[in-house]
Structure 1
Amino acid sequence: MLAIDRYDGPMWRTLRNALSDLTAEQKDRLDIWFLSAKYGFHRADLPISSYEQLLTTKRGQELVRLPTSNHNAFRDATGKAHKILLAGGQAYREVMRRVIQAGSDIAETDGPGIGFHRKQLRGWLADV
């Protein structure tokens, strides 16, 4: 199953719902990636299996360091982007920030609760 369909947390449901409101042209301008404690950094159209693995501090450090995490491809993709949104929990955003090179317009979901994060995600996509 594609990662964008496999993951079913509130942010992923919001993302899928917001994408359904966009035109094909708008969707073509997006390059959606995910960070997984198991799989590392990949585009959201990668087929993945179901798994259970938490992103610990140690695992985050490994993902930033190990070439097998695909962090170089993520860094290169974000380096070409004009606008970036880092969406997810604090631990995930921190690992993503450590990989991304400065220079792009980087925004993050952040705030008092998941509802706030979901609103930020939807608003950012509407502005794209």
Structure 2
Amino acid sequence: MDYIGRFIQNNSILEQIDLHDCEIDDDGAIHLAKYLPACSLENLELSQNSISDRGCASLLSSIPPTLLYLSLRGNQITKSSLQTILTFLDVNQTLKNLTIRNNPILEETIYEKIYEAAKQNNICEIG
């Protein structure tokens, strides 16, 4: 993950990276998050990995201002991440699409809270 992180950080023209189904766990997500603030990514695909609440918190606190699309679909994110996600949605001004389906978090009432927070911040699509 260190190699990928340094590549992302040092590549000013890289706009998207697809790391779905790469067996990334919390440690990998935390390691990747160290490099995100300095990158120019617009699209980060992390679906179908093993990222849970700890990795989710680290990633969301490190999202670069250029990011428009983030997929965390099919990971291990639970309702314990609700406040982290709501805070992220309240603060982030650039994200247009957040995909979090197929995580243990998705009880209907929790998903509704996330959807409402996203709508207030002009995020176009929550999936």
Which TM-score band (shorter chain)? 0.3 to 0.5
Give the TM-score, by structure 2 length.
0.33
| Structure with the higher helix share, 1 or 2 | 1
Computing the radius of gyration over CA atoms, which structure comes out larger, 1 or 2? 1
Q: Which has the higher contact order (CA 8 A, sep 6+)?
A: 1
